[in-house]
Amino acid sequence: ALISMRQLLDHAAEHGYGVPAFNVNNQEQIRAIMMAADKTNSPVIVQGSAGARAYAGAPFIRHMILAAIEEWPHIPVVMHQDHGTSPGVCQRSIQLGFSSVMMDGSLMSDGKTPSSYEYNVDVTRKTVELAHSCGVSVEGELGVLGSLETGEAGEEDGVGAEGKLTTEQMLTDPEEAADFVSKTHVDALAIACGTSHGAYKFTRPPTDDILAIDRIKAIHARIPNTHLVMHGSSSVPQEWLEIINQYGGEIPETYGVPVEQIIEGIKFGVRKVNIDTDLRLASTGAIRRHLALNPANFDPRKYLAEATKAMTDICIARYESFGTAGQA
């Protein structure tokens, strides 16, 4: 069944678990997420970015998610629009039937330039007014996502600040978060706590204090009724990097967010954990390996099935580690 983000994250808060929010733009990703959820009895958040909507077309994204709901009617599903760049973009998704939207007012509508606080409050408040009147939840973002190790926003098609960021920008201020929530009434708030988008988060194996867990704690203490969201939460599995590079890929040394630190964040109020890169890496690794080992194969179903299996395994692991398993 289609449910709102608020319904799901209220349940998650009550029971102390987190929910991975996987980005989707094709059928294999959606089937992997749903098969993993079915196997572990987990509720699901699937999200489409602007890039996903440009790739597949909004109607296809919508109907693929509706098809998943039809095939697995016992699994609660949130259909979420990721990183909306204006109230108009969010309005379009609400019209299409999304049950949750993100208004990312931390950046201007170009998706690159950090915005003023007043701008962020204004576009987010407008979106909440519209969304709530339609029963749709809203995620806002305060602070600019960036790696505390590199000072870079990371790679994400179209979304992400340009240039070096200051530590101040990369850590959401708890007092400002409280003011933001009281002015906008968002259901969930994406915070900056040291993660960045894409595969290139950290250049060295991360230490166990790579995220600002104390900052997460302080924000949660100030706004206990707002669900916290961690973007840029891929763990960049080293085993998949090795497989990609073993079978012809060329991905330089790089590291993601250790799952243990996400679990630590969940203990202190993180409820939605955004993951895209990990499924991209797993599917690319599985396809490269299959094609290298089966050079005569030309049936896409054979290599796409390998990709689906690789992605399913990652989804199962995240549902189990975040405590989502058994909560559907």
- The catalytic residues are 82
Residue 23 found at the interface with ligand G3H (CB under 6 A): yes
Residue 51 found at the interface with ligand G3H (CB under 6 A): yes
Residue 16 found at the interface with ligand G3H (CB under 6 A): no
Q: How far is the CB of 234 from ligand 13P (least distance, A)?
A: 3
- Choose the stretch contacting Na ion; rule: CB under 5 A; options: 102-110, 140-148, 160-168, 308-316: 102-110
Element (DSSP H or E) covering residue 309: helix 300-322
Q: How many CA atoms lie within 13 A of 83 on its CB side?
A: 27
Which residue in the set 31, 62, 80, 197 belongs to the binding site for ligand G3H (CB under 6 A)?
197
* 195 or 308: CB nearest ligand G3H: 195
Which residue in the set 6, 31, 83, 201 belongs to the binding site for ligand G3H (CB under 6 A)?
83
Cβ neighbours of 165 (radius 10 Å): 22
Which residue in the set 139, 141, 276, 306 belongs to the binding site for ligand 13P (CB under 6 A)?
276
Residue 102 found at the interface with Na ion (CB under 5 A): yes
Report how far residue 295's alpha carbon sits from residue 15's, in angstroms, rounded to the nearest whole number: 49
Each residue 165-204 as x (binds ligand 13P by CB under 6 A) or -, in order, gives: --------------------------------xx------
Q: How far is the CB of 104 from ligand G3H (least distance, A)?
A: 9
- CA-based R_g, the chain, Å: 19
**Per the structure block, which two tokens stand in for 40?**
């572990």
Q: How far is the CB of 138 from ligand 13P (least distance, A)?
A: 15
**Amino acid (1-letter code) at residue 241:** L
With CB under 5 to 8 Å by kind, the binding choice for 78 among Na ion, ligand G3H, ligand 13P, none is none
Which residue in the set 50, 68, 82, 90 belongs to the binding site for Na ion (CB under 5 A)?
82
Residue 42 found at the interface with ligand 13P (CB under 6 A): no
Q: How far is the CB of 198 from ligand 13P (least distance, A)?
A: 5
Report how far residue 267's alpha carbon sits from residue 210's, in angstroms, rounded to the nearest whole number: 16
Pairing of strands 44-48, 77-84: parallel
Report how far residue 183's alpha carbon sits from residue 181's, in angstroms, rounded to the nearest whole number: 5
Total residues interacting with ligand G3H, rule: CB under 6 A: 12
Residue 100 found at the interface with ligand 13P (CB under 6 A): no
With CB under 5 to 8 Å by kind, the binding choice for 51 among Zn ion, Na ion, ligand G3H, none is ligand G3H
Q: What is the footprint of ligand 13P within residues 223-252 (CB under 6 A)? A: 231-234
Report how far residue 279's alpha carbon sits from residue 290's, in angstroms, rounded to the nearest whole number: 16
**Per the structure block, which two tokens stand in for 90?**
């969010």
Name the CA dihedral angle for 39, 40, 41, 42, rounded to a multiple of 10 degrees.
Answer: -120
The answer to whether the CB of 268 falls within 8 A of the CB of 213 is yes
Residue 231 found at the interface with Zn ion (CB under 5 A): yes
Handedness of CA 50, 55, 58, 60 (dihedral sign): negative
The answer to whether the CB of 199 falls within 8 A of the CB of 237 is no
Tell me the backbone φ, ψ of residue 154, rounded to 5 degrees: 90, 175
With CB under 5 to 8 Å by kind, the binding choice for 211 among Zn ion, Na ion, ligand 13P, none is none
Going by the DSSP 8-state scheme, the letter that residue 291 receives in this structure is: H
Q: How many CA atoms lie within 13 A of 273 on its CB side?
A: 30
- Name the one residue in this structure whose structure tokens are 């530590």: 167
Question: Rule CB under 6 A: which residues touch ligand 13P?
Answer: 23, 82-83, 197-198, 231-234, 274-277
Question: Rule CB under 5 A: which residues touch Zn ion?
Answer: 231, 274
Question: Rule CB under 6 A: which residues touch ligand G3H?
Answer: 23, 49, 51-52, 82-83, 156-159, 197, 276
Question: Rule CB under 5 A: which residues touch Na ion?
Answer: 82, 102
